[in-house]
Amino acid sequence: MDIINTPALPRPLIGVSGRRLRGAAIGAPHGFADAPLEAYLSEYATSVLRAGGLPVHLPMDAEPAELVERLDGVVIVGGDDVDPACTDRCPVRSPRWSIRSVMRSRPG
């Protein structure tokens, strides 16, 4: 098979964690100030795209084991959603997305 007829490989799916905020944090209009939202800086997704991957948002309520099976990689951005035990700091709360939960979820 020559290079012209070689099918392109699918781009890897790369999960990007974010953080949970309230609408008031972004100046949401009245009625949405207490609405929960999830966000991450767009530079993370842009960097994944530039590196050849397809960024996928990782909702905080999703089960890590179900998503990790389908992903080729994970970007865990800084913030209170990253397990502080990985950085030798005191935990603020128990995160759903942590290095340990991702590693436990990986097959094999």
pTM above 0.85, yes or no: no
pLDDT tens, residue by residue, 22-64? 889 889 888 899 998 888 888 999 999 999 999 999 888 888 7
φ, ψ for residue 10, nearest 5 deg: -65, 145
30-35: long-range pairs with CB below 8 Å, 24+: none
Please report whether residue 69 resides in a domain.
yes
Q: Measured between alpha carbons, how far is 65 from 56 in angstroms, rounded to an integer?
A: 15
Please report whether residue 2 resides in a domain.
no
Please report whether residue 1 resides in a domain.
no
Please report whether residue 50 resides in a domain.
yes
Q: What residues make up the domain containing 67?
A: 13-105
pLDDT tens, residue by residue, 59-92? 888 887 888 888 998 888 765 555 556 655 544 4
Domain count, the chain: 1
Please report whether residue 46 resides in a domain.
yes
Q: How far is CA 90 from CA 33, 80, 87, 93, 101, in A?
A: 30, 11, 9, 9, 18
Please work out, in degrees rounded to the nearest 5, the angle formed at the alpha carbon of residue 37 by the alpha carbons of 82 and 42. 65
